[in-house]
Amino acid sequence: MSVYCHNRSNFCHFLNLQLAPVKVRHTRKAVARDFPPTLFYPHHACLDEPHRRTDLDSCPQNAEAVIRLPAPTNPEDAYAVPVLDEAEWQARALAHENRVRVWTDPHQTRAARGEKHPVYDFLFTYYGFRAAWLRRWQPGPDILLAGPAAQVFLRDQEYHETDYGVGLRPDALPEKRRPFVLWLRSLLAATAGRPGFYGCFGLHEWAMVYRQTPEEIRHNQYPLRFPPDEIARIVEAQPLRCSHYDAFRFFTAPARPLNRVTLERDQCVEHEQPGCLHANMDLYKWAYKLAPLAPAELIADCFELARDIRELDMRASPYDLAALGFAPVKIETPEGRADYEQHQRAFTARAQPLRLRLLALCDRLLRPD
């Protein structure tokens, strides 16, 4: 028996697993064709001589998982697919559900009462992913789930059963969805490769109420911080620099010509940039659009980011939401703009690893098997 002491940082980055020991079995029928070649390769491992235990002290500090595998006799068997035992994957599923219910339960309680929330409803209405779907745990690619309880996943056609457990099919991405995933990959890669722009200062929300009557304003059950003429003056005082089509399309008709460029749907890849709050919120949309092929933890991470960004988005808006506990970010002042930019840069830093994880997932789904 050889002992493979794998550096798990890449593995965990892709599948969003916590850096903790994990039981892995060697599955000869689910090897090279089912696992990204950058993961569990020998150059990511400290290997001992055959049939001898490696000295763990000589391995890198972050090589935390010790995995015992039969010495491979076939080059195909240079790496393994993890098989999670029933207790482990059920614990992970429960942890995911408990995490997201902190967000979904209040929304469902409000919905049952017919109550609207100008900040958080957006995450369940504009983003059309139901709370029940967000709570559901999915392992993502290249993980097999052991135990009788894993049979429940076979209700979905994307899953199949192997000799070692239940997991996503290698060809789980339908051919008809490949064009979307290819497009999404190009969008994510283009956005990740650009510098962030931090000169918009959240004026998109102001442009959405520019020159509107009180009856036309979307959240008119809440007061505006300024009268309409003052809002118009603030919008007109500096050029609008929105780069996100799905924000621009909600500008009022008089506000659209004030933007530095007229945005079109088919130009998203050309204009999207990582400093944009809405581009970073949309990582949640792209994650759930890859469900059930995306790991549930990745979807939850993207939701959490979107929720935090939405708070800033509405705090910097012209709405007065102090009654709900949201202090305004006064982007009409130099101090407020500096505060907004500081938050914006922090969100850009949080979003970039998620964007790269989504890119890795797209590459995995598009990889020929």
Output the DSSP codes for 188-251. HHHHHTSPP----TTTHHHHTTTT--TTT-TTTTS-BSS-HHHHHHHHHTS-B----HHHHTTS
Q: How many CB atoms lie within 10 A of CB 277?
A: 25
The closest alpha carbon to 234, from 204, 256, 263, belongs to: 204
Give the chain's radius of gyration (CA, Å): 24
Q: What is the pLDDT of residue 183?
A: 97
pLDDT in tens, 30-45: 333 333 333 332 222 2
The closest alpha carbon to 225, from 344, 124, 88, 322, belongs to: 322
The closest alpha carbon to 8, from 47, 59, 48, 44, belongs to: 44
State the Cα–Cα distance between residues 171 and 149, nearest whole angstrom: 23
User: What's the rounded mean pLDDT across residues 142-168?
Assistant: 97
Strand order in the sheet with 159-161: 83-84, 144-145, 166-168, 159-161
Residue 297 confidence class, pLDDT cut points 50, 70, 90: very high
Q: What is the DSSP letter of 144?
A: E
154 pLDDT above the threshold of 60: yes
15 pLDDT above the threshold of 70: no
Q: What is the pLDDT of residue 61?
A: 33
The answer to whether 188 and 362 have CB atoms below 8 angstroms apart is: yes
Q: How many CB atoms lie within 10 A of CB 207?
A: 23
Q: What is the pLDDT of residue 7?
A: 33
pLDDT in tens, 155-167: 999 999 999 999 9
Q: What is the pLDDT of residue 369?
A: 64
pLDDT in tens, 203-224: 999 999 999 999 999 999 999 9
Q: What is the DSSP letter of 316?
A: T
74 pLDDT above the threshold of 90: no
Pairing of strands 144-145, 83-84: parallel
Q: Which residue in the block uniquely carries the two structure tokens 């569990």?
A: 40
The closest alpha carbon to 47, from 3, 10, 80, belongs to: 3
202 pLDDT above the threshold of 90: yes
Quick check: helix, strand or coil at residue 158? coil
Q: What is the pLDDT of residue 209?
A: 97
283 pLDDT above the threshold of 90: yes
Quick check: helix, strand or coil at residue 190? helix
The closest alpha carbon to 139, from 159, 124, 155, belongs to: 159
- Give the mean pLDDT of the chain: 83
Residue 289 confidence class, pLDDT cut points 50, 70, 90: very high
Pairing of strands 166-168, 2-6: unpaired
State the Cα–Cα distance between residues 104 and 122, nearest whole angstrom: 12
237 pLDDT above the threshold of 70: yes
225 pLDDT above the threshold of 80: yes
182 Cβ contact list (under 8 Å, min separation 6): 366
Percent of the chain surpassing pLDDT 70: 78
300 pLDDT above the threshold of 90: yes
56 pLDDT above the threshold of 60: no
The answer to whether 202 and 316 have CB atoms below 8 angstroms apart is: yes
State the Cα–Cα distance between residues 1 and 12, nearest whole angstrom: 25
Q: In terms of residues, how long is the chain?
A: 369
